[in-house]
Amino acid sequence: MKLFAREILLSCCMLIFSTACGTPVPENATVPFDPTKDNRIIKNNPTIACDMGIADIFWERIKTEKRNKTLDAPPTPEELKAINNEKILIGFESCSASMKKLILEGFRDAVRVLGYVKDWRDFKVDWRRPAAVEFFGGAARTQKYRQVIQSNLGRMSRLFNAKDPAGTIFVTCADPWNRCQWRNGPPAYVPDYNPNKKGNSYINFCVKWSNVEHLDDLIEFGNKIYNLNKLTGSGAYIILHELFHLVDIATAHPDNLVSNPRNKILQIRDINFPKPIDGENRKAVGPRWAKELANGAKNWDPWLVSGNADNYAWWAISEFLHRDFKLYPFQPVLDDPWQYSRGSNQISTGTKDLTPDICSRTNETVGGVGVDGKMSPIIAISPDECFDGVLGTATYPQNVTYQAPVANR
């Protein structure tokens, strides 16, 4: 009886999620629309399903449902050769041949999303593009922290350069921290870093990793992708999220010590922050919560985004979709009302864009996110980001190489 009630609750949550968290498609959703108009916004009313978090529902569902029946297939000779020739991922302690194949597929997806550089200093973020504003915040809040954020992304991108490896990542499937056995346990994890303990810089993959989805399984290339929730169960997202926990690659800005003085090593974490709905603390995990962390009220600490793994991961995925599909993935949008302060302006997110109003006060020209001469939704930016020209037309990160997808099957 309890099991039956639980299944009903989960079904209801999934139904609520599909109608309230952004899955329904507004009419002509694939066509960029005027950011000053709100008539086609999907309202995100707070619900149990939304508060549970997208990933929680995803992993709860795949406990009994195999997402991809082909993932149990043993590696082909070509795949075995690729595993043996892998230069960046090493160790594969207690990992079966099939698991090695799946790990490598997810890693290649992550490389495909972020790209790779010859020198980490070559990686440049266009801070005017919507992904940077949504997941790292506007210049008025984050100018001080941009160098650290860009450096972290650059170092990760440099590590991804298999032609000239700059380091290695130790992989294990032995579950040293016994996290794989947790209820709703993760598909992968990186442990909290302890400088006094040897051998704790690694990424562990759990059996549940065999159920994650890969880009070619999720994306029908050529179609517009506008909802980031579709990629919350992807190997690319999970690997990017976990790798940003590795202090050998990336660290938070020192200002994060104000919020967490115990994190002296400045490890990038999953930050807890108060929800705008009821003030209850939750982790900033998932595209919606990462956006809220980056664009909270003015008394929120702007350095937090530099220390939260999901903000890096969702920035990279949003830019990947924007770059390859020519349309910014604006969903999920934030709850209404969701007001925050930018200067003297009280504004709310969604497709409302007060940039023209803000920039007119500084007598500067303002553009939008250009797609075929039209506008895509973008949240408001500060006067510091007004400039002559069209917003978001700069070459997406300069000097970055993007590789074609590798055949998985």
Identify which has the larger pLDDT, 55 or 20: 55
Query: Looking at residues 169-188, what average pLDDT do you find?
Result: 87
Is 395 a domain residue? Answer: no
Can you give the pLDDT at residue 79?
A: 73
**Is the pLDDT at 149 greater than 70, yes or no?**
yes
Can you give the pLDDT at residue 214?
A: 82
Identify which has the larger pLDDT, 363 or 65: 65
Can you give the pLDDT at residue 153?
A: 94
Query: Looking at residues 381-396, what average pLDDT do you find?
Result: 36
Termini Cα distance of the chain: 42
Confidence of residue 279 (pLDDT cuts 50, 70, 90): low
Closest C-alpha to 213, from 78, 47, 56, 408: 408
The mean-pLDDT minimum among 39-48, 280-289, 312-321, 323-332 falls in: 39-48
Q: What is the C-alpha to C-alpha distance for residues 139 and 231, in angstroms, rounded to an integer?
A: 28
Confidence of residue 152 (pLDDT cuts 50, 70, 90): very high
Kindly report the average pLDDT of the chain as a whole number.
66
**Is the pLDDT at 36 greater than 60, yes or no?**
no
Check: CB of residue 95 under 8 Å from CB of residue 252.
no
Can you give the pLDDT at residue 136?
A: 86
The token pair at 108 is 């290649």
Confidence of residue 42 (pLDDT cuts 50, 70, 90): very low
The mean-pLDDT minimum among 126-140, 273-287, 391-405 falls in: 391-405
Q: What is the C-alpha to C-alpha distance for residues 43 and 137, in angstroms, rounded to an integer?
A: 22
Can you give the pLDDT at residue 200?
A: 61
The 10 Å Cβ neighbour count of residue 117 is 25
Identify which has the larger pLDDT, 360 or 46: 360
The token pair at 76 is 């082909």
How many domains are there within the chain?
A: 1
The mean-pLDDT minimum among 67-76, 81-90, 140-149 falls in: 67-76
Name 199's Cβ contacts closer than 8 Å, sequence gap at least 6.
none
Check: CB of residue 390 under 8 Å from CB of residue 124.
no
Confidence of residue 407 (pLDDT cuts 50, 70, 90): very low
The mean-pLDDT minimum among 74-88, 103-117, 216-230, 349-363 falls in: 349-363
Confidence of residue 67 (pLDDT cuts 50, 70, 90): very low
Can you give the pLDDT at residue 194?
A: 63
Can you give the pLDDT at residue 337?
A: 36
Angle (CA) 41 137 258, round 5°? 135
Query: Looking at residues 269-296, what average pLDDT do you find?
Result: 76
The mean-pLDDT minimum among 192-196, 274-278, 367-371 falls in: 367-371
The token pair at 126 is 């266009």
Identify which has the larger pLDDT, 160 or 44: 160
Query: Looking at residues 143-147, what average pLDDT do you find?
Result: 84
Check: CB of residue 283 under 8 Å from CB of residue 289.
yes
Is 392 a domain residue? Answer: no
Can you give the pLDDT at residue 104?
A: 93
Can you give the pLDDT at residue 95?
A: 92
Can you give the pLDDT at residue 32?
A: 32
Q: What is the C-alpha to C-alpha distance for residues 171 and 202, in angstroms, rounded to an integer?
A: 6
HSE, side-chain direction, 13 A CA sphere, residue 299:
2
Identify which has the larger pLDDT, 181 or 60: 181
**Is the pLDDT at 118 greater than 80, yes or no?**
yes
The 10 Å Cβ neighbour count of residue 112 is 20
Residue 370 C-alpha from the chain's centroid: 23
Can you give the pLDDT at residue 352?
A: 33
Can you give the pLDDT at residue 238?
A: 94
Check: CB of residue 271 under 8 Å from CB of residue 304.
yes
Is 218 a domain residue? Answer: yes
CATH number at residue 18: 3.40.390.10
Identify which has the larger pLDDT, 150 or 142: 150
Can you give the pLDDT at residue 113?
A: 92
| 0.75 surpassed by pTM | no
Q: What is the C-alpha to C-alpha distance for residues 31 and 49, in angstroms, rounded to an integer?
A: 28
Confidence of residue 223 (pLDDT cuts 50, 70, 90): low
Can you give the pLDDT at residue 72?
A: 58
The mean-pLDDT minimum among 62-76, 115-129, 238-252, 374-388 falls in: 374-388
Domain containing 332 equals: 2-385
